[in-house]
Amino acid sequence: MAVKPSTQDKSRTFSDVQSQNSGLVSLCLPFTLESQDAAQLERIIEQSPPLKKGGHLFHQGEPFTAIYAVRAGSIKTYTVTNAGEEQITGFYFPGEMIGLSAIDTDDYPISAKVLETTTVCEIPYDSFEQLSNRLPSLKAELIKCMGKELREEQQMMLLLSKKTAEERVATFLLKLSDRFKRRGYSASLFRLSMSRNEIGNYLGLAVETVSRIFSRFQKQQLIQVEGKEVELLDLDELRIVSGEARHDEPLIP
Amino acid sequence: MAVKPSTQDKSRTFSDVQSQNSGLVSLCLPFTLESQDAAQLERIIEQSPPLKKGGHLFHQGEPFTAIYAVRAGSIKTYTVTNAGEEQITGFYFPGEMIGLSAIDTDDYPISAKVLETTTVCEIPYDSFEQLSNRLPSLKAELIKCMGKELREEQQMMLLLSKKTAEERVATFLLKLSDRFKRRGYSASLFRLSMSRNEIGNYLGLAVETVSRIFSRFQKQQLIQVEGKEVELLDLDELRIVSGEARHDEPLIP
DNA sequence: CGCATGATTGAAGTATATCAATAGTGGTGG
DNA sequence: CCACCACTATTGATATACTTCAATCATGCG
């Protein structure tokens, strides 16, 4: 099944009004830049209007034009096999970059879909590349982001190859917790913007397995789930269940 | 189990004799550079003596100092879980880069082990970064490599999450075939430098499963295996088995 | 408010892991 | 050079974690 061409999910360019871009870089991007460099970068990036759930940032196979940073909301990226199966490759939250794997290609190798009302910053890649030739620190920041993503994908390979279903779900919840915490939100109470189906797909599990493990974890007082709302009740035990910590070795040796 | 410190697997710096570095970049690196840029890069890279099978380029947890390009031979990279399980994250052949996921970290997040007698080019990262601030094309080439690696890992996630054992093995063989072909070697006849165990580990399968599928493929006349020597007898059918092609749609539509 | 979609729970099935036993390989040193 | 020994690979029998199928229950969007 061929990849469908992009519908009018997004306006071609979000806005020609570059009015209030000030601070956008520090708000959206995981870049550490001198303020004058940030100002220059702000001139080439555009903030999207709120994107509706279900829309696409880009489709697999479409020409690569830009990378994105999430400003608010969440996004999933996924590849589609020739057999038509979908594999989610990542979930992205505010301050995280999307589309890095498309760099150096003509077409996006993945699709990016909006999970809830979301705003993003669009960074047209040719402008970015031109600018970064004058500002080496820009490229350096991009390289850092890519390195981080590489490490995350390696951890994901490990999860998919070696971890049990329980370990996968625990790892997933803890990873989300960490990311929310880093953003200043609660590390123990949050809302899952993705469906059970999407969690299962991402973790290489059937929906039913995810559901069962949520129930089991709840029974074990590890978590409290109610629909999309999740509370992590016992982070330490979750860490053990995830395979990241062990009973016999303390977290800080 | 903590990660062991590096033994004397490699000499600290391979050689202080920078005698015959000429052409090293074009020989080892997947970089496309102007000749004067390449010459500058050559000044900071060092070729290793032949490394013996079983040695390490670096261990997980050691300070990150350099990235590497394979010149001859092959390397595997792997992560170790807290439970002590090993997950191979990649196999690397001549012209491929190792250690990119360590960029932006203090310590290597993976280990790199020599699979057969191998020579590599060591690129000390601080020198590389300094040089690349003057030569923006250097950073651009690095970004391209990282993008490629990201895409490969995404494909690997798909494989680990969605493909059957047969699809995984077929995909693996075809991927190797492609890489050898690109290097000018035979696409259908080659030697596996890794063990069945390592193949299984990489593909998320038990050794026995890999062995059984090799036998099955042989019985089906898809391949001819004799120890580490493999011949791909029916590339088209292998592509179908791998899930990359389908019976009802031709390769060139 | 109703109906499509998503979530949960139970029962049965299966692909692959694990266990086990044998056969082959390759490297080393006598 | 060959013989030994440890390691690697193969093949078969059994076990199991997870999937698939099925039915019910909840949810939320129009």
Using a CB-CB distance cutoff of 8 angstroms, which residues of chain A are in contact with residue B158? 79, 81, 87, 89
Angstrom distance (rounded) from CA A55 to CA A118: 10
Kindly state the average pLDDT of the residues B149-165: 97
Using a CB-CB distance cutoff of 8 angstroms, which residues of chain A are in contact with residue B130? none
Helix (H) or strand (E) holding B56: strand B56-58
| Residue from A142, A146, A168 whose CB has the most chain B CBs within 10 Å, to mutate | A146
Per DSSP (E only), the strands in B107-172 are 111-114, 119-124
C-alpha distances in Å from residue B214, one per residue of B158, B162, B168, B221 = 21, 20, 12, 11
| Residue from B79, B91, B103, B161 whose CB has the most chain A CBs within 10 Å, to mutate | B161
Handedness of CA A9, A12, A13, A17 (dihedral sign): negative
Query: For every one of its 253 residues, what pLDDT tens digit does chain A have, with 9 covering 90 and above?
Result: 444 444 444 444 555 444 567 688 888 899 999 989 999 999 999 999 999 999 999 999 999 999 999 999 999 999 998 888 899 999 999 999 999 999 999 999 999 999 999 999 999 999 999 999 999 999 999 999 999 999 999 999 999 999 999 999 999 999 999 999 999 999 999 999 999 999 999 999 999 999 999 999 999 999 999 999 999 999 999 999 999 877 655 444 4
Helix (H, G, I), strand (E, B) or coil at A27: helix
Q: What per-residue confidence (pLDDT) applies to A20?
A: 61
Kindly state the average pLDDT of the residues B163-173: 98
Q: What per-residue confidence (pLDDT) applies to A14?
A: 58
Using a CB-CB distance cutoff of 8 angstroms, which residues of chain A are in contact with residue B139? 132, 136, 139-140, 143
Query: pTM here?
Result: 0.90
Residue B252, burial from CB neighbour count under 10 angstroms (0-12, 13-18, 19+): exposed
User: Does the beta-carbon distance from A103 to B162 stay under 8 Å?
Assistant: no
Q: What per-residue confidence (pLDDT) applies to B245?
A: 80
Using a CB-CB distance cutoff of 8 angstroms, which residues of chain A are in contact with residue B110? 154
B 41-60, residues with C-beta < 7 Å of strand D:
none
Q: What per-residue confidence (pLDDT) applies to B244?
A: 85
Spell out the domains of chain A, with CATH numbers in brackets.
14-159 (2.60.120.10), 164-242 (1.10.10.10)
Tokens describing residue B44: 């900071």
User: Does the beta-carbon distance from A154 to B101 stay under 8 Å?
Assistant: yes
Q: What per-residue confidence (pLDDT) applies to A25?
A: 84
Nearest to A57 by CA among A103, A108, A95, A128: A108
Angstrom distance (rounded) from CA A117 to CA A115: 7
**CA→C1' distance for B50 and C30 (Å):** 29
pLDDT digits (tens, 9 = 90+) for B24-47: 888 889 999 998 999 999 999 999
B91: Cα separation from own chain's centroid: 3
Do residues A84 and B244 touch, judged by C-beta distance below 8 A? no
Q: What per-residue confidence (pLDDT) applies to A32?
A: 92
Q: Are strands A56-58 and A111-114 parallel, antiparallel or unpaired?
A: antiparallel
Strand C: which positions are within 7 A of a protein CB?
Answer: 6-11, 15-20, 24-26
